[in-house]
Structure formats: structure tokens, C-alpha cells
Amino acid sequence: MTRVLEASGIVRRFGGLTAVGGVDIHVDAGEMVGLIGPNGSGKTTLFDCLSRVQTIDEGSIMLNGTDISKMQPHQVAHIGLSRTFQVLRVYRELTVLENMELSVQWGDISLLSSFRKPTKETTERADRLIDFLLLSRLRDQQASSLSGGQRRLLELGMALMSDPSIVLLDEAMSGVNPSLVEQIKDRIRILNQEQGVSFLLVEHDIRFVKDLCDRVVVLNYGEKLAEGAPDEIMENEAVIEAYFGDDGTEGAGDAGN
């Protein structure tokens, strides 16, 4: 198995709070890994560390054999790691196509400050992905006119523009209606099975994670609580406890976060 992503001993503190407290996580080529855990358990912060949006206080991150621990987000994107955000980052006034074209310059401030006209190759790639994601009808519409689910698809498309070997999806299904969830799931499966793209995904809906993932990592209070096949994880007492507490009611809602 080729290891695409390997992070060891990741620590990220905010003042006195340790949001991520020494986590090891890896993803192999072609693997689909779920990252779950109660609200506030450090999932987004870990994603921020892995994609280099946040600096790390301790630990190391290897991407396709390269040490990316100190790289900038756009450098990491260039060598194969893309991500989406829990809070959407599409430009509402730009069209679907323009958002896709712009995303190849994502994070690269020197380029953004002098926005370049996209190359023919960039536009062609954007068009292919727009077709693949079944967004062709909306190609020239402003992103503000899209539904929540269509915007999530656009964000997935933007993450795919740099031809990543691994994509990190942070709650890509939140605010998406159930029919579109199936469509997005289907696209993710094709990307994984036919193009070998690996995924690490944070999703609140455990069934979604179970349907897609080979392996699940559970965080709790910034530490790894459990790791294993989805079925094992769902029967793991410590995981049930972390999610549902003693009274059987769910205490891990992500609503409003």
C-alpha cells in the first residue's frame, strides 16, 4: 500500500486549549477514511493542520513522501492535497465556471492579487469537472443562485481542479437535500474507484460515513478515541458513550457550528 498522507503526533493549541492533542492519522492510496467525533473534538482543526491552513505546534505531516509540515496551503495543493471547508468558500458573485477557474490560484496570494486570465487548459479542465459533477446547466450562473447542495458540489469541483491525490472533505453534506446527497456520494465513489483519489472525510451523518469509508477514526477532546472498520466503530462502547452519553440522547449535534 502506498501511503498518501501520514501525520504523526499532531498537536495544535489555542492559548490554554489543546484542540488537537497528539494525533496520528494516515490515509493510503485509494483509501476512503472517515473522521468523526462529537462537536468540538478537533476535526476541523486537524483538517486545518493537515492542509496547512493552521500551523502545528508539534508533529509532522508527510504527503506522498514529502514533508509538508512547514509548507503553505497552496504548495500543498500543488503537490496533491485539496480540501473543502465546513463554511463554504465559493465567491457568490462569480459564476460556477469562474469559481472553478479561480480555485487553481487558491491560497496563492501573490497570484490572487493580480488575478490572471485562466489558461485554455484551466478552462477545459473546469468544463470537464463541471460536466462530471452534473453542473453543466449551471455553468454560467452566479454561485449565489445555487442551492446549498449545488454549492457543495461546486466546492468539491474546486478542490478537484488541482488534480489531487487526496481530498479532505469537511462536512460536505451539511445543508444538502437527501436526493443530492446520493448524487454527491455517487460522484465521490467514481472519483475514488475509477481515478484512485483518496478521501478523508468529516461527516456528521454516520450512515454516510459507513456507506463510503473503509476505515473510521474517532476523535474525542482532541485525541484519538478509536479507529477501525465502520461496523466495529459503531459498536464501540467508548464511541457510543462519547456520542450519546449515559442518557441515550445525542449530545453531539453540529447544528449552528
Choose the contact partner of 42 out of Mg ion, ligand ADP, none; CB within 5 to 8 A by kind: ligand ADP
**Distance between CA atoms of residues 123 and 120, nearest Å:** 5
By beta carbon distance, the residue nearest Mg ion is: 44
Q: Which residues contact 194 (CB under 8 A, 6 or more apart)?
A: none
The one among 39, 119, 136, 144 contacting ligand ADP by CB under 6 A:
39
- Between 12 and 125, CB nearer to ligand ADP: 12
Residues 73/53, Cβ–Cβ less than 8 Å: yes
Q: From the CB of 15, what's the least distance to Mg ion, in Å?
A: 19
DSSP 101: H
Q: What is the dihedral of CA 149, 26, 160, 214, to 10 degrees?
A: -50
Residue 214, Cβ neighbours under 10 Å: how many?
15
The one among 21, 45, 150, 172 contacting ligand ADP by CB under 6 A:
45
The one among 44, 165, 174, 220 contacting ligand ADP by CB under 6 A:
44
Q: Which residues contact 89 (CB under 8 A, 6 or more apart)?
A: 155
Q: From the CB of 176, what's the least distance to Mg ion, in Å?
A: 16
Q: What residues line the site for Mg ion (CB under 5 A)?
A: 43-44, 86
Which region, judged by CB under 6 A, interacts with ligand ADP, from 32-40, 136-144, 189-197, 244-252? 32-40
- Between 56 and 135, CB nearer to ligand ADP: 56
Give me the 4-23 binding string for ligand ADP, x by CB under 6 A, dash otherwise.
Answer: ----------x--x-x----
Q: What is the DSSP string of 178-230?
A: HHHHHHHHHHHHHHHHHH--EEEEE-S-HHHHHHH-SEEEEEETTEEEEEE-H
- Between 33 and 143, CB nearer to ligand ADP: 33
Are β-strands 198-202 and 166-170 bridged in parallel, bridged antiparallel, or unpaired?
Answer: parallel
Q: From the CB of 145, what's the least distance to Mg ion, in Å?
A: 27
Q: For cell 495543493, what's the residue?
A: 77
The one among 25, 32, 41, 220 contacting ligand ADP by CB under 6 A:
41
Q: From the CB of 152, what's the least distance to Mg ion, in Å?
A: 15
**Distance between CA atoms of residues 182 and 176, nearest Å:** 10
Interface residues with ligand ADP (CB under 6 A)?
Answer: 14, 17, 19, 37, 39-45, 257
